[in-house]
């Protein structure tokens, strides 16, 4: 694998970051995960814009690059993003190397890393049968302490919740916020259907403004599905007719079990299936554009 590190591509065994890098020492950095369909990078500009917003929020200057050309070169060098295999792309930008201490001025130059590999989508059986969630004991970070719109490399909150899911044999954990309202899962946004309405926690609940989430809301409105972004407790989800998750790599993933109890009829529901078809149609239009 070829890794882009700071200013050039190097083999992965030479892609070494200093132990004095503040991304390693303090989790001081931002990142984005992007995917391709074939050679086309999906919603590239939206991801790059969010990367810049995250960096701006922590006072981190992103080095100037021809990002579209760089990402395509990364795919080409690693023989992904072609007619045979879609690409998984991760951009990581840390504060950089500096003396130990919290002052960002200790780091004169950010560290830039771009990694690409084959995208490994979830097992198709998961889409057919749905996945199992648990409600985590871990709560989502308080927004006043750490803004959820910063897609930061400090992921310990999510990792603690993921450990709960792994211990329970579940696909993932659902985190509640400081007010016991539904928030999000460890790497995905949450949707559920109640009385024909598509519901999702609002941004004020302390969630990341997911790019796939925004697309799904647009597709639902185009389809005439009523949408509600609000504050919901876990009982609303337990009474829901359907539930699904969304993120860049898995698109729309049905949820059929919550805390060992079926959601709705225990199968992917009609609204979930409709939106999955709409997403696929949008993807086709993107590839044909």
What's the pLDDT score for residue 126? 97
When the pLDDT of each residue in the chain is averaged and rounded to a whole number, the result is 97
**Dihedrals φ, ψ of 97, to 5°?**
-85, 135
Percent of the chain with pLDDT over 90: 100
Residue appearing with tokens 């709705």:
264
Cβ within 8 Å of residue 169, ≥6 positions away: 132
What's the pLDDT score for residue 10? 98
2-118 placed in CATH 3.40.50.300 = no
In angstroms, rounded to a whole number, what is the distance separating the alpha carbons of residues 80 and 101? 39
What's the pLDDT score for residue 61? 95
Contact call for residues 226 and 194 (beta carbons, < 8 A):
no
Break the chain into its structural domains and give their ranges: 2-118, 124-288
What's the pLDDT score for residue 115? 98
Tokens of 205: 């609940």
In angstroms, rounded to a whole number, what is the distance separating the alpha carbons of residues 250 and 252? 6
pLDDT band at 130 (very low <50, low <70, confident <90, very high): very high
What's the pLDDT score for residue 74? 98
Per residue in 207-237, pLDDT (tens digit) is 999 999 999 999 999 999 999 999 999 999 9
DSSP assignments along 144-195, one per residue: TTS-TTS-BS--HHHHHHHHHHHHHT-SEEEEE-TTSBEEEESSSEEEEEET
Q: CATH class for domain 124-288?
A: alpha beta
What's the pLDDT score for residue 95? 98
pLDDT band at 3 (very low <50, low <70, confident <90, very high): very high
In angstroms, rounded to a whole number, what is the distance separating the alpha carbons of residues 161 and 281? 34
Per residue in 134-184, pLDDT (tens digit) is 999 999 999 999 999 999 999 999 999 999 999 999 999 999 999 999 999
Contact call for residues 92 and 113 (beta carbons, < 8 A):
yes
Q: Which of 44, 50, 95, 151 is catalytic?
A: 151
Per residue in 22-65, pLDDT (tens digit) is 999 999 999 999 999 999 999 999 999 999 999 999 999 999 99
What's the pLDDT score for residue 276? 97
CA 26 to chain centre: 21
The verdict on whether 151 is a catalytic residue reads yes
Per residue in 81-119, pLDDT (tens digit) is 999 999 999 999 999 999 999 999 999 999 999 999 999
What's the pLDDT score for residue 112? 98
Residues found in the chain = 289
Contact call for residues 54 and 152 (beta carbons, < 8 A):
yes
In angstroms, rounded to a whole number, what is the distance separating the alpha carbons of residues 10 and 113? 11
Q: Model pTM?
A: 0.95
In angstroms, rounded to a whole number, what is the distance separating the alpha carbons of residues 68 and 111? 19
């Amino acid at each position: 694998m070829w890794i882009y590190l700071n200013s050039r591509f190097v083999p992965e065994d030479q892609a070494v970051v200093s132990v004095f890098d503040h991304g390693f020492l303090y989790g001081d950095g931002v990142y984005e995960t992007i995917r391709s369909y074939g050679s086309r990078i999906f919603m590239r500009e939206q991801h790059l814009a969010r990367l810049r917003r995250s960096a701006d929020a922590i006072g981190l200057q992103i080095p100037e690059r021809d990002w579209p050309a760089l990402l395509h070169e990364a795919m080409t060098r690693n023989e992904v993003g072609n007619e045979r295999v879609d690409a998984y792309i991760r951009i990581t930008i840390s504060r950089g190397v500096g003396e130990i201490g919290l002052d960002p001025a200790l780091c004169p130059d950010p560290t830039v890393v771009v990694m690409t590999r084959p995208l490994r989508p979830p097992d198709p059986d998961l889409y057919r049968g749905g996945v199992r969630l648990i409600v985590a004991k871990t709560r989502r970070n308080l927004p006043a302490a750490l803004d959820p719109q910063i897609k930061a490399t400090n992921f310990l909150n999510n990792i603690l919740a993921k450990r709960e899911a792994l211990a329970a044999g579940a696909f993932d954990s659902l985190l509640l916020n400081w007010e016991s309202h539904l928030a999000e899962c460890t790497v995905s946004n949450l949707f559920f259907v109640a009385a024909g309405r598509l519901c999702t926690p609002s941004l004020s609940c302390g969630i990341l403004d997911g790019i796939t989430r925004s697309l799904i809301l647009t597709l639902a409105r185009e389809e005439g599905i009523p949408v509600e972004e609000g504050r919901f407790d876990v009982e609303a989800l337990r009474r829901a007719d359907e539930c699904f998750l969304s993120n860049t790599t898995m698109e729309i993933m049905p949820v059929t079990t919550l805390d060992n109890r079926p959601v709705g009829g225990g199968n992917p529901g009609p609204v979930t299936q409709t939106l999955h078809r709409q997403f696929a149609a949008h993807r086709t239009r993107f590839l044909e554009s």
